[in-house]
Chain A
Amino acid sequence: MALVKIALAGEGGQGVQSVAEIIAEAAYNEEKQTIYIPNFGLEQRGGVSIAFIQVSDEKIGAPKFDKADVVIALSERAVGRTAHYSDENTLFVYDSGFNADAIDLPEEAKKIIGLPAVDTANKELHPRVFNIIIMGAVIGLTNIVDFEAAKKALESKLGYKFEQNPDLRTLNYKALEIGKKMAEESLKEGVR
């Protein structure tokens, strides 16, 4: 697998870093070279939080990158903050529920994709699994880890919660699957 660079950005508390960590862990468990670096500015809460992930079969160089293969912006502010990571090879993903007037989408992208992640989480699942839908979407867009490995990583991170409430496991797996399908569909349809 060639190097895949992902930038995930959202508001503090949206679970961006947790998702990034689970994805990175899953890739590492599949014996891939993996780097995960959190952006950890002074704004621990309430600021835009960015996670940088790189996955490859080969040794990885610099921990940061200028342009990503996939950018996922999970808040209106995050769209503007991450637009410069996008170039003609980038899949730029945002939530289709954002106010179109409030966001500055990047000028350059291979494809700009609006996914109804927030809406789906709220209406079909639970607001808390919004970030797991996003995790599924990352996998759907990049195939950096296979679906089973992702489930396993989720289990190892959240297993203790699943033990207490098995419904949570079903909910999370469902969110993961919906996210993945949503992303795969978007690639087929060429949503812009």
Chain B
Amino acid sequence: MQQVITENKKAFMTGNETAAWAALVSGADIMFGYPITPQNEIMHYWTRLAPQYGRGFLQTEDEISAGFTVCGAVQSGKKAFTATAGPGNVLMQEPFGMAEGMRLPLLAVIQQRGGPSSGTVIYSQQEVTLTTFGGNGEGHRIVYSTATHQEIFDYVIKGFNTAWKYRFPTFILGDGYQAKMREPLELYDPETRGIEIVDTYPLVGLEGSISSADRGPQHLCNIYSMEEELYDVVMEISAEYESISPEVVEYEEKHCEDAEIIILSHGVVSRAADDAVEALRAQGIKAGYFRPITLRPYPEKALRAAIARSGAKKLLIAESAYGQFYRLTRQEIYGETAKIETLFMPGVGIVDNDIVSKVKSIL
């Protein structure tokens, strides 16, 4: 593979451009996509960069098709990905479900826009439920919620590896702000950081033959005749998902040792939460910060431990949606007695002052 970046390179670019560069250094072979704001520039930059490095691109007739073409490409052993947002994410749930059912190493970058429906083209955190538990499956997906451009770069690289290592569809959940804003980051070749790129491999058309018993049958299936057959498959996938979860789960925690209130947030909102916690601490208010980086699997144990360690009586959940992250969190920490307060600002940005004022109003 042609080396994309020889030396660490500082850059000031949009999150979309960052995602395209990250896919390139990860060795992605091809992107399938269909335009929708605010993720368009991932496609735009990819189509500019890909030909220079012998990579491919296909614009399909819609998002359903973009998702299914990724499902097809990865079965042939190609490192394929897509990117979408909003109504496009809704349409892609059908292929994403197939990827869950057939254990396909699909990677999708989601840049959340406002909803419901076409909502806004700008920003939200309203695609949490859809990205974590969309489709008619059981949410057997890995979802990284990024907060900075550096993380978009890091987690696209990691996401491809996760997808191919564990064979669960993997998502990089960004948002319109991250997509469109420019901020500094460092681009690098993963290998120079000791990151080993997980090899891709074909899932069908394998060497040898079943008749001569060289290998077992490769039976990738998304429909079953008997309910018991499906039951066995879903139970097996569930068990495997649960067994890998401890290795995959990621979170960030600050000041939880003695926190009276823990502020929970994810994605770009955690930047405001981080600042808010520092501001509250400076005013003598013992606030803590907890941020799941993986929304699926959820860092349930770590959060329960943080609550226990701190003895926090209250949690504040802040999100740019009306309770999607709240519901996800609540089910994970069922039984905890700390009171959950909420700051729901669907479709609009949250700044540190919003959180500081909310905390002061409830303490």
Interface residues of A (CB under 8 A from B): 21, 24-25, 28, 33-42, 60-66
B108 in the interface (beta carbon within 8 A): no
A24-B12, A65-B351 known; A36 and B184 CB under 8 Å?
Answer: no
Bound-complex Cα distance A61 to B265 (A): 13
Q: In the bound complex, what is the Cα–Cα distance between A37 and B180 (angstroms)? A: 6
Near A by CB (< 8 A), chain B positions 315-363 give: 349-354
Stretch at the interface among B22-30, B67-75, B83-91, B271-279: B271-279
Given A25-B12, A62-B272, A36–B350 Cβ distance below 8 Å? no
Check A40–B180 contact: CB distance below 8 A.
yes
- In the bound complex, CA of A76 to CA of B177 (Å): 27
| Of the residues A21, A34, A41, A61, contact of B272 by C-beta under 8 Å | A61
Closest Cβ of chain B to A124, distance in Å, is 32
User: Which B residues are in CB contact (< 8 Å) with A37?
Assistant: 177, 180-182
**Chain A residues with CB below 8 A from B271, complex form:** 60-63
With contact pairs A35-B182, A35-B183, A40-B38 given, residues A64 and B121 touching in the complex (Cβ less than 8 Å): no
| Assembly CA distance A61 to B177 (angstroms) | 12
Q: How far apart are the CA atoms of A39 and B181 in the complex, in Å?
A: 9
Neighbouring B residues of A63 by C-beta, 8 Å: 177-178, 181, 183, 268, 271, 349
CB distance from B85 to the nearest CB of A (A): 13
How distant is the Cα of A36 from the Cα of B149 in the complex, in angstroms? 12
Residues of chain A with a CB closer than 8 A to B275's CB:
61-62
Closest to B278 in A: A61
Question: B237 on the interface (CB 8 Å rule)?
Answer: no
Is B177 a contact partner of A64 (Cβ separation < 8 A)? yes
Query: Is B4 part of the contact surface with A, judged by Cβ < 8 Å?
Result: no
Enumerate chain B interface residues (CB-CB to A < 8 A).
12, 37-38, 120-122, 177-178, 180-184, 268-269, 271-272, 274-275, 349-354
Q: Which residues of A lie under 8 Å from residue B351 when comparing CB positions? A: 61-62, 64-66
Q: How far is the CB of B44 from chain A (nearest CB, A)?
A: 14
List residues of chain A with CB within 8 A of the CB of B184: 28, 33-34
Q: How far is the CB of B311 from chain A (nearest CB, A)?
A: 27
Tell me, in angstroms, the Cα distance from A39 to B176 when the chains sit together: 10
* CB neighbours of B37 from chain A (8 A): 40
For B274, the chain A residues whose CB sits under 8 A away are: 61
- Are the CB atoms of B122 and A41 closer together than 8 Å? yes
Task: Give the distance in Å from the alpha carbon of A37 to the alpha carbon of B274 in the complex.
Answer: 20
Q: Are B353 and A35 in contact (CB under 8 A)?
A: no
Residues from chain B with a CB closer than 8 A to the CB of A62 are 268-269, 271-272, 275, 349-352
Nearest Cβ on chain A to B350's Cβ, whole angstroms: 7
* Alpha-carbon distance A24/B12, docked complex (angstroms): 9
6 A-B contacts, Cβ less than 8 Å apart? A34-B12, A36-B181, A37-B182, A38-B180, A61-B352, A62-B352
Residues of B within 8 A of A42 (CB): 121
Identity of the chain B residue whose Cβ is nearest the Cβ of A33 in the assembled complex: B184
Contacts of A34 in B (CB 8 A): 12, 182-184
Q: Which of B120, B182, B268 has the most CB of A within 10 A?
A: B182
A22 to chain B, nearest CB (A): 12
Nearest Cβ on chain A to B355's Cβ, whole angstroms: 9
- Give the residues in chain A near B354, CB-CB below 8 Å: 66
Q: Please indicate the chain A residues that have their CB under 8 angstroms from the CB of B182 in the complex.
A: 21, 24, 28, 34-37
Query: What would 16 more interface pairs be, CB under 8 Å, given A37-B180, A39-B122, A42-B121?
Result: A33-B183, A34-B184, A36-B181, A40-B38, A61-B274, A61-B275, A61-B351, A62-B269, A62-B271, A62-B272, A62-B275, A62-B352, A63-B181, A63-B183, A63-B271, A64-B349
CB distance from B75 to the nearest CB of A (A): 37
Bound CA–CA A13/B280 (angstroms):
42
Per CB-CB distance, the 6 closest pairs between chain A and chain B, nearest first, are A64-B349, A37-B181, A61-B275, A62-B272, A28-B12, A61-B271
Contact B352 A35 (CB under 8 A): no
